[in-house]
Structure 1
Amino acid sequence: MKIIAFGASSSFSSINKALATYTANLVEGAEVEVLDLNDFPVPMFSEDTEKEVGRPAGAQAFFDKIESADAYVISFAEHNGTYTAYYKNLFDWASRINQQMFAHKPVVYLSTSPGPGGAKSVLAQAVGSAAFFHADLKASLSVPSFYDVFDMEKGEVTDSAIAEQLAKAAAALHA
């Protein structure tokens, strides 16, 4: 099983990327490819820009990576209660290639933040729209107070209850 994992953020030190990477690697025997959204540059989406430039190479490359996977682990960063502008823009471009971009493949949606909210607002939006993009949502989980439950140097969860919930989410990709 090939899993694409990424944090829906352009931050070079993304805690959501760390969480998605950790969770995807819990799937035994999986080949995990971790994406950095900064590797997929695209102009700001608009129908006018689309008419002018066509399909940007960054959008096609991102879509090709999505299409190559058997499953996904995506962790959503939250800016002002919603998706990061960088992710939303890239996703808008990629969904113009094929709106059904997840092709009924299994997906785990996560979110985290440094604070106690755990980016629950953006996670709720992602969960609410998953079917629209033909994502077979197997599990979703918000992880609050990231730095209290995750050791960035070791790349591991330090809270046993959170670790157990993430393991169950990862196992759901096989279901």
Structure 2
Amino acid sequence: MAAILAFAGSNSSTSINFRLVKLTTSMVQNHDIQQLNMAELPFVMFSEDEEKQNGYSDALVDLKDKIQAADGLILSVNEHNGNPSAYFKNVLDWLSRLDRNFFEGTKLLLMSTSGGKRGAKGSLGVIENMLPRFGAEIVTTFSLPGFYDNFSDEAILDEGLKQEHAKALQTFLDALN
């Protein structure tokens, strides 16, 4: 049984990416899953001055410890203007200052969704290229376009996308065994 940490790269209380994470984790059996709602984890904007004056928050250290204790991570990233949100980039900046290889030994299922036709593929691509620099092993990716047309809290509605999502999840789970 693998330990899986799951969260979205969004601090929105109505995050559609977190809804995708929750659906995905509901499909996982026989693994220890911990979900994090990032809307409950505020982080000040990174700056060297902030780091020197106040160091690292307990929430940041706790997040790093949870990531490093996990065998795998289910992560869905949101998109603002074709890129990852400032919030998630800020989280990565803080984590990388605490430990450059904070993802070392962690296998990832990397996902994204948006209301648009591209499913936040811009952000997904940026993050997919960035996370290996911190030690992550991206096992597979999945992008859900047209969230409001293709998603319910019980299932992905489009049959082709539903199968693609299930295949990505199974690939990830197989890599954990």
Q: TM-score range by the shorter chain?
A: over 0.9
Structure 1 contact 25–32 (Cα < 8 Å) conserved: no
Instruction: Give, in angstroms, the shift of residue 104 of structure 1.
Output: 2.3
Number of the residue aligned with 2:82: 81
State the identity as a percent: 35
Q: How far has the Cα of 1:23 moved from its partner?
A: 1.8
Matched AA of 1:158: L
Shift of 1:42: 2.1
State whether structure 2 residue 137 is matched by structure 1 residue 171: no
Residue aligning to 2:156: 157
Counterpart AA for 1:136: E
Unaligned stretches of 5+ in structure 2? none
Cα displacement (A) at 1:10: 0.9
TM-score by length of 2: 0.91
Q: Work out the CA distance in 2 between the residues paired with 1:83 and 1:42.
A: 16
1:102, 1:133 within 8 Å by CA — same for their partners in 2? yes
Matched-pair contact (CA < 8 Å) for 2:77–2:113: yes
1:119-167: per-residue Cα shift (whole Å, max 9, x none)? 0100000111121011111101211001111113xx3212221111111
Q: Secondary structure at the match of 1:74?
A: strand
- What are the residue-to-residue correspondences of 1:66-145 with 2, within 5 Å? 66-145=67-146
What runs of 5+ residues in structure 1 fail to find an aligned partner? none
Asked whether the 8 Å contact 1:120–1:142 carries over to 2, the reply is: yes
- 2:17 maps to 16
Amino acid aligned to 2:96: S
Q: Tell me the CA shift for residue 40 of structure 1.
A: 2.2
Distance, in Å, in 1 between the alignment partners of 2:5 and 2:29 is 14
TM superposition shift of 1:27:
3.0
How many pairs are equivalent? 173
